[in-house]
């Protein structure tokens, strides 16, 4: 496991921490809309997608949205946390043997046994734990595992300029009851910017990329690999 991967995974290996996080996250879920947008856009472009991989999947929420959207597809769950896997096993049980579990480090996808030639790779609120170099390395490895025309989707927090960061954090509690109550864990500060993400996609060879949703300091990045 890389140093960044170790720091990113540390808090999530603690069952008490993950149990509290999942309970709070389920209570106030502002990300249902962008998850649905992501699945719908991919379905419109690639309706026959058969393999969906969710990196740093946590309780499997994003993966479940895609498996509902693509009832004929199989899913690969990946995360470094045993306790998150326990939540995911319960949440994804309804999909039966459509889901394969691949524990491991998001900064070493090959070491996790993630297959190549997949249709979709998604990740959510995980890559912001990496610095710019680590983020770009993650995008490069993820893109290398996509089939031609495959999709790389990241729903993640970004670091706006300081003045905008303060403004957005000041008003966010009006719209999210759990704002400010999140359990502390490792972040890479300053968070990588929108430009860092877009640069990372392009450096990975995914030049067909767009921000398809944004609220406060969270963006839905979607990129399609060339055919």
Summarised one tens digit per residue, pLDDT across range 165-207 is 899 989 988 887 655 555 555 556 689 999 999 999 999 999 9
| Rounded-to-integer distance, Cα 86 and Cα 39, Å | 24
Summarised one tens digit per residue, pLDDT across range 27-52 is 556 789 999 999 999 999 999 999 99
Report the percent of the chain where pLDDT is more than 90: 72
HEC-encoded secondary structure of the chain: CCHHHHHHHCHHHCHHHHHHHHHHHHHCCCCHHHHHHHHHHHHHHCCCCCEEEEECCCCCHHHHHHHHHCCCCEEEEEECCHHHHHHHHHHCHHHHHHEEEEECCCCCHHHHCCCCCEEEEEEECCHHHCCHHHHHHHHHHHHHCEEEEEEEEEEEECCCCHHHHHHHHHHHHHCCCCCCCCCCCCCCCCCCCHHHHHHHHHHCCCCEEEEEEEECCEEEEEEECCC
**What is the total count of domains within the chain?**
1
Which stretch of 66-75, 112-121, 156-165, 175-184 has the lowest confidence by average pLDDT? 175-184
Mean pLDDT, the chain, as a whole number? 90
Which backbone phi and psi does 60 adopt, to 5 degrees?
85, 20
CA angle in degrees (0–180, nearest 5) for 195-51-103: 75
Report the percent of the chain where pLDDT is more than 70: 84
Residue 142 has pLDDT above 90, yes or no: yes
What's the pLDDT at 5? 63
Query: For the residues 130-152, what does the mean pLDDT come to?
Result: 97
What's the pLDDT at 144? 98
What's the pLDDT at 217? 87
How far from the centroid of its chain's Cα atoms is residue 49's Cα?
A: 18
Q: How confident is the model at residue 6 (pLDDT cuts 50, 70, 90)?
A: low
> Could you tell me which residue, 14 or 40, shows the higher pLDDT?
40
Query: For the residues 63-77, what does the mean pLDDT come to?
Result: 98
Q: Residue 27 contacts by C-beta under 8 Å, 6 or more apart in sequence?
A: 177, 178
Q: Which domain holds residue 40?
A: 3-224
Say which CATH number the domain at 39 has.
3.40.50.150
> Could you tell me which residue, 74 or 185, shows the higher pLDDT?
74
Query: For the residues 73-98, what does the mean pLDDT come to?
Result: 97
Termini Cα distance of the chain: 32
């Amino acid at each position: 496991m890389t140093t960044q991967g170790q720091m990113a995974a540390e808090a999530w290996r603690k069952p008490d921490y993950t149990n509290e996080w999942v309970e709070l996250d389920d209570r106030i879920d502002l990300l249902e809309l962008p998850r649905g947008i992501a699945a719908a856009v991919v379905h419109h472009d690639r309706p026959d997608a058969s393999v969906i991989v969710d990196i740093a999947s946590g309780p499997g929420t994003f993966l479940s949205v895609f498996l509902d959207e693509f009832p004929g597809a199989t899913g690969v769950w990946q995360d470094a946390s045993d306790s998150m896997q326990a939540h995911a096993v319960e949440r994804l049980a309804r999909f039966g043997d459509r889901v394969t579990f691949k524990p491991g480090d998001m900064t070493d996808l090959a070491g996790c046994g993630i297959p190549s030639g997949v249709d979709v790779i998604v990740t959510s609120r995980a890559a912001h734990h990496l610095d710019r170099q680590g983020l770009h390395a993650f995008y490069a490895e993820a893109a290398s595992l996509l089939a031609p025309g495959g999709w790389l989707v990241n729903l993640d927090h970004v670091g706006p300029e300081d003045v905008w960061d303060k403004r957005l954090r000041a008003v966010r509690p009006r719209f999210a009851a759990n704002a400010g109550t999140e359990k502390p864990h490792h972040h890479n500060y300053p968070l990588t910017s929108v430009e860092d993400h877009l640069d990372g996609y392009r450096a990975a060879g995914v030049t067909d990329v767009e921000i398809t949703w944004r609220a406060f300091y969270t963006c839905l990045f979607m990129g399609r690999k060339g055919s």
